[in-house]
Amino acid sequence: PAGVAGGGGSQYTLVAVTLKHFDANSLEDSDGFTRHTVDVNVSRQLLTDYYWPAFRAPIREAGALGVMCSYNAVNGLPACASPVMKAAREAWGFQGYVTSDTDSVADVWRAHRYKRTAEEASCVALREGGTDVDSGNTYYHSLLSGVRSGRCSISDVDRALFNTFRVRFKLGLFDPKAGNPYWQLGEADIGTAASRALNRHAAAASLVLLQNPTSRRDGGPILPLAPGKRIAVLGPHANATRALIQVDTGKVCASGGFECVTSPLAALADRNPDAGTAYAEGCDVILMGRQGFSAALAAAEAAEVVVLGLGGTSCGSWGAGRWGKRDSAPRHLHCRPANGTNGMQW
């Protein structure tokens, strides 16, 4: 399709999309386990029906050329050392590369104790897991000694190199720039009307409405919201911009900031210009102060509809174990509006 595997008559691939995180990567930090240490026990039926479709469809239907294996183990096998991805190459027609998460090959021996040394972990990830790239230093320091000791072979290394270089050739990285139309793309091709429309469609299609309760005021469903209601937008993420963007994304606006990202407050105020849209932060994601509670409660009591923007933060919860104590999610419970008001939360 255009925009992923080429288009417009070009022989080149425009974007090598990397899907992550494979496989059964559903836990960050809970009950004494982290994403580095958890071993997920899951049935083959659940893998097939729930986890794999999100990888299988982009590979088969959109030509995705990358997969990132996760930190966790699945049914006793660390994801980056599991033969499942090797089997998927044939079953799904995958012709791309597999990369580890940030040195998740090291977790094969350090966190999961599946192997005793970095050398053994490197070879089992390369040979059995089909992990072509180690996004870390374990391969760099230990793979060569693993080959020399016979735990894996130079043909295993060649296969990994073939998988990665094939993607680079598809991208045209070794051909003259003049012959590749994608090298001619510039700033004017970023954020076009067509791209924005596609982003909006993708966002709308990915949302799941878990419930739509009856309004206490008029007896009808709360959603969709009709313009003309008094709306209070509350919570630490009510006016968020950067917090809506995944932490690894980097710069998303031309200036390098996040002013081009529309916050929930800005979006609601734009759609509800006449009735008034109030805003109060109420509480912070990390700090534990209550000084904003009274303003938030007053805004909620004066509103017909309350929209809450709650959740964690990349600064506190991303990379469990890297940042120390995580943000205190229960504090958000105190930000919820009083009974009797209509409310939405995301």
What residue type is 45 in one-letter code?
Q
What burial class does residue 131 get, using C-beta atoms within 10 Å of its C-beta: 0-12 exposed, 13-18 middle, 19+ buried?
buried
Does residue 21 have a cis peptide bond before it, meaning omega lies within 30 degrees of 0? yes
Tokens of 222: 């709360």
- Which residue is catalytic, options 29, 39, 101, 189? 101
- Give the Cβ contact number of residue 242 at 10 Å: 15
What residue type is 7 in one-letter code?
G
Tokens of 303: 């509103």
Torsion (CA) 198, 199, 205, 207 in degrees, nearest 10: -170
Q: Establish whether 274 is a catalytic residue.
A: no
Nearest to 80 by CA among 110, 57, 54: 110
In this structure, what are the phi and psi dihedrals at residue 260, rounded to the nearest 5 degrees? -85, -5
CA distances from 17 to 10, 43, 171, 198 (A): 17, 28, 11, 17
Question: Please, which residues have CB within 8 angstroms of residue 315's CB and are 6 or more apart in sequence?
Answer: 286, 323, 327
What residue type is 328 in one-letter code?
S
Interatomic CA distance for residues 57 and 150, integer angstroms? 37
Interatomic CA distance for residues 291 and 314, integer angstroms? 23
Catalytic site positions: 101
